[in-house]
Structures are given as C-alpha cells and as structure tokens.
Amino acid sequence: MQLVSWVPLGRWNFQPCCPTGLQQLQAGTLSGLDALEAIAFVMPLASFWIGATHRWRSLMWIALIGYAIWFALQLFTWWPPYLFGASAHWMRVYERAFAQATQILPRWGNHLPPDGVHIVLQILLAGSLITGWRDATTRRR
C-alpha cells in the first residue's frame, strides 16, 4: 500500500484527484496527516514482525485484527458496487479518483470494478491474513 501511495506508477495508481506522497513532497504540499497515515499503515507490519520475532502472540493478533479490518473495508467498499451496482455517490467518487486507473475486470452500466491495484492489494491482504494466522496459531519450541 505504501508503494502505491507514495510512488507514481503510471496508470496503475493514477488518481487525478490525489497525487502520490512523493509528488506531494516535491510540491511542498505533504501534510503531517499524510505522514501519520504512512506510519499507521506501517504499524501493523512492525507489530507482527516484533511479535513473530519474540513470539509475543498478542502483538501478532493485534496486527492481524488490523489487517482483517482493512481487508473487510476493502471488500465492502469495492465489491458491492461491482456486483450489485454503484450508488450515485460512489459513481462520482469513482469517476473522480479511479476511472482512469488500470482496470482488470469489465465495467458495465453502473457496475464499477475495483481498479487493478485494489484487486492486487486485496489478494495480498488475504495472503497476509492466511499466513499470519497460520504463524500466530502455530506452536513453536
């Protein structure tokens, strides 16, 4: 997520409304809130890594809960508008931010697909949850 948020990757993460972190940094428009957001996304990774290194399962579970919430938000944000049709509000947001990004799935009518980067992100989050759960529940000597 941080790579996508910070580094311009052409149409892969192109959002005319929202420049990447590096673009904001170069323009001098990066806010403290943007920096805090970056830290917030790194915290679960650090929590899980520290927990796995020291076998502190509570830290591992905190990270997994954070990733599970993020994954659920991804699913509930992107898939209902694609499967059942988007609201007028989501259509405006989509046209402003995601319509020009790389698309993998077809669009029809008001059924707006997740852009390619969000599909990849959801796959990576699912993999992280599966492997993290396996590691957090495995007993090691």
Domain count along the chain: 1
Percent of the chain whose predicted confidence (pLDDT) is above 90: 62
Tens digit of each residue's pLDDT (9 = 90 or more) over 64-88? 999 999 999 999 999 999 999 999 9
In the three-class reduction of DSSP (H, G, I as helix; E, B as strand; rest coil), residue 111 is classed as strand
In 3D, which of 85, 130, 139 has the Cα closest to residue 110?
85
User: Mean pLDDT throughout 54-59?
Assistant: 91
Binned at pLDDT 50, 70 and 90, residue 55 comes out as confident
Band (pLDDT 50/70/90 cuts) for residue 140 is low
Domain that holds residue 6: 2-137
- Rounded to the nearest integer, the mean pLDDT of the chain is 90
* E strand or H helix that includes residue 18: none
**62 is written with which tokens?**
């905190």
